[in-house]
Amino acid sequence: MSKLNWQRLLFYSLPPILALCTVLLVNFKTDLSAFVISGNNAEEILLASEMQSGKLSRRYLLSIGKSKDTNNDKQELAKPFIQSLTQQLKAIEGVVDVWNPNQQSNITQTIQSLYSGYANSLYSLNAEQDLHQFFSSEGLNQRAELVKTLLLSPQGIVFKKTILQDPLLLTLNGFQSLGGQMQNIVSQGNEQYQNLVLETRMAGLDASQQTQIQSNIKSVFKTLNKTSPETYTLEMTGVPIFAVATQTLMQGDITKVSILSSLLLTVIFWLLFRSFSVMLKVFTLLIIVILSSILITQLVFSYVHGMTVAMGATLVGICIDYPIHTIVHAQAVDFSERIKVTATVWPSMVLGGVTTIIGYVALGSSGYPGFQQVAVFATSGIIISLLITRFVLPRLMTEDKTTTLKVPLIGGWSYISLHYRKWLMSCLILFIAFSSFNLDSLHWMKDMQELTPELDYLKLNDKRIRERMTSIEPGRFVMVTGESTELALQKAELVYPVLEQLKQSGAITDYFGLYPWLISEQKQKSNQALLQSYLTQENEDKWKQALNDKGLSVKKLGTLNYSAKQTLGLTQLLATPVSKLIDSRIVVGKNQTIIMIWLGQHQPEALRLAMQDIKGAQYFSQRDMLNNMTRDYTERAQLLLMIGVSVIIVLLLARYKSIVKTVQTLLPAVLAALLILIIWSFTGEAVSFLHLVGFLLVIAICVDYGIFYQENRGGDIALTYQAMAISMLTSAVAFGSLITAESTSLRILSAVVALGVILGFILCPLIIKQTNSH
């Protein structure tokens, strides 16, 4: 077989081989938070990690209600249905547990069985004050009265066990306020709905596994509903719901965008080149480029994100430029000269490729985890495309010399821009000069939520379900950090009294921290020691007198034995049913622990101010965290844009050794970006870091046009501009296809880049004067 045939065989065999490798080796991920959330400090990183893979992320909140068809709205949901549903849900593969969040019996039993043994440790945050009151004559009488009341109460049989171990009922002292909280939970419960929490084994952001679980949940519910005399409805929320919805969105977008851009590119190619052979070569090259990029990304990161593929698919619009330029110039000469012609235009392509890579590398340096992938993906794609274009493509172009079909209007625009250049330039300068005054009204996006309006229905759903369950405001808490769990607990103990004061003043309705479930070891030991100091003979006699006065048994209750020395630790607590209540309130990392004190309705400013004086404590809002990230990303993106442009300027200066030429080459790109900014200043578009990322890409791509036009290595500016037109069309189509995506982020990129490359292309003949155009 001739050398050419081997080359051809290898070239056309690569796509299926690479496709097989991709299917077998590549690990795809779709969690959006892993793409954009990184965190600037240790707390943010720990919280972000908890949001992505922590226990809470693996939980669903299920809300079962009566169907609208049900006649009797006032009747509660049938217990047997809920019981049966709970049992069947527990049997689903991957489900760890299902429980009623309002069910308190397990918690009450834990209080009785566990906490009685630590009565001398956990009874108070302010032991001195409390013990002084307890051991006064009035205080002991009150305790004795409490014992009597409890023994006679409907819960008497249960309290008896606690009272025998803890006659002074110190255990209850800490849980006083909790009784009010639990009572509120019961009374706030909406009788029209029964809520369940379902915990899964796999991470909430493992969308493919969670899709299966959601399907099973719905299936179980549907089957049970059919056999029930009443009809019920099921609503779900939780991190896995958002994850699956995002994945579905992304998959849909990737499929849609890929198909659309492939079809449109095919049409463009066919109309312009009228050659199946050319189409086959170019598309084979693109498939090799995309699949190789995916595999290289997998090699570097051990996974490939769905957004990388979605954004990377737009790389097609960039990498297609190099073979297009080569084909357009090579087709205009005989086969024997094609390699030479390719070698002639190659330096321009390399410079163009390098400037584009600079743009992507700047993106990768942003710190957004996902964009690092896009940078690697794009860089490897561009390099592979350049190499194949230079060393393989010309050798495969064995067709006869042809004249490329001219792109409509391009010749006309070239003519107009040449003959009316001064007039057009004046208009452009005036337009930019006057419009620039409006740039002040550019509106920056502050709320990251605006990037995902397509998920608004889920957010509303989430809010509606949570309102049925609890008065805790989601996403806002007092964050207490410490280098260890013990230190974090100690700091939290400084926060509780402040929160209590705020509660008294009405600035907050309630708060949900780790007290009384757990306090620091230091505080527990201090409580033990202080209590021992009060257990004098005199106090014990007073206690016996109080018991006698109330008719209680002095023999059984008169001896106050609180000598136990052990303290309660977090690990021990997390092994009890109480863990389900408190695991949302503490995150233990390698080098630090975060305690989250959740809040009822509150005044954010009051909280913020109150926490200012406590070291290690701050008012935290998830929304604010994301918005701070937005602000950071925006500032970073602005900086990277400046750095990217600066590096490109240095590169061009080194190449052209002329400031005028450098500025001319860069100006179409910069002006395209400026014109887009002007348009937004009039339309009121909220500019985000994603828009700035788009700018970076516009400049990186449009600089290529400036370079090709400036250098015109083929010697025929009309042919060069025709080649650029085809490049521009393919880029505009590739990025423009993203406009059909459901994801707002992708649509933003589409609008910015598609418009940018068109403007950059149009401006080239205006800005860069060529004397040898045909």
Q: Which residues bind other proteins (CB under 8 A)?
A: 76, 79, 83, 102-105, 108, 146-160, 163-164, 172-173, 175-176, 178-179, 182-183, 186-187, 548, 551-554, 556-557
Residue closer to other proteins (CB basis): 146 or 264: 146
> CA-CA distance, 520 to 616, in Å (whole number)?
15
Shortest spacing between CB 101 and other proteins, in angstroms: 13
Place of tokens 């910069």: 670
Residue closer to other proteins (CB basis): 553 or 772: 553
> CA-CA distance, 50 to 631, in Å (whole number)?
22
> CA-CA distance, 446 to 450, in Å (whole number)?
8
Shortest spacing between CB 65 and other proteins, in angstroms: 17
Residue closer to other proteins (CB basis): 56 or 150: 150
Residue closer to other proteins (CB basis): 340 or 556: 556
Shortest spacing between CB 626 and other proteins, in angstroms: 38
Residue closer to other proteins (CB basis): 412 or 551: 551
Shortest spacing between CB 17 and other proteins, in angstroms: 59
Q: Report in angstroms the alpha-carbon separations of 182 from 502, 605, 737.
A: 20, 27, 53
Structure tokens at 288: 């090799």
> CA-CA distance, 75 to 468, in Å (whole number)?
17
Shortest spacing between CB 448 and other proteins, in angstroms: 40
Shortest spacing between CB 160 and other proteins, in angstroms: 7
Q: Report in angstroms the alpha-carbon separations of 127 from 75, 134, 169, 532, 727.
A: 47, 10, 14, 12, 77
Alpha helices in 657-716 (DSSP H): 659-683, 689-711
Contacts of 269 (CB under 8 A, 6+ apart): 278, 279, 282, 283
Residue closer to other proteins (CB basis): 123 or 562: 123
Q: Are strands 443-444 and 686-687 parallel, antiparallel or unpaired?
A: parallel
285: three-class secondary structure by DSSP: helix
> CA-CA distance, 35 to 246, in Å (whole number)?
12
Structure tokens at 343: 């070698």
Residue closer to other proteins (CB basis): 154 or 412: 154
Please spell the DSSP secondary structure of 620-645, one letter per residue.
EEHHHHHHHHHHHHHHHHHHHHHHHH
> CA-CA distance, 667 to 661, in Å (whole number)?
10
Q: Report in angstroms the alpha-carbon separations of 390 from 296, 331, 386, 396, 711.
A: 21, 15, 6, 11, 18
Shortest spacing between CB 121 and other proteins, in angstroms: 17
Shortest spacing between CB 205 and other proteins, in angstroms: 33
Q: Which of 25, 625, 628 is nearest to 297 (CA)?
A: 25
Shortest spacing between CB 466 and other proteins, in angstroms: 20
Residue closer to other proteins (CB basis): 104 or 539: 104
Q: Which residues pair with 28 in a beta bridge?
A: 304
Residue closer to other proteins (CB basis): 68 or 79: 79
> CA-CA distance, 691 to 680, in Å (whole number)?
11
Residue closer to other proteins (CB basis): 219 or 561: 561
How wide is the angle at C-alpha 150 spanned by C-alphas 145 and 152, nearest 5°?
100
Q: Which residues pair with 305 in a beta bridge?
A: 29
Shortest spacing between CB 154 and other proteins, in angstroms: 4
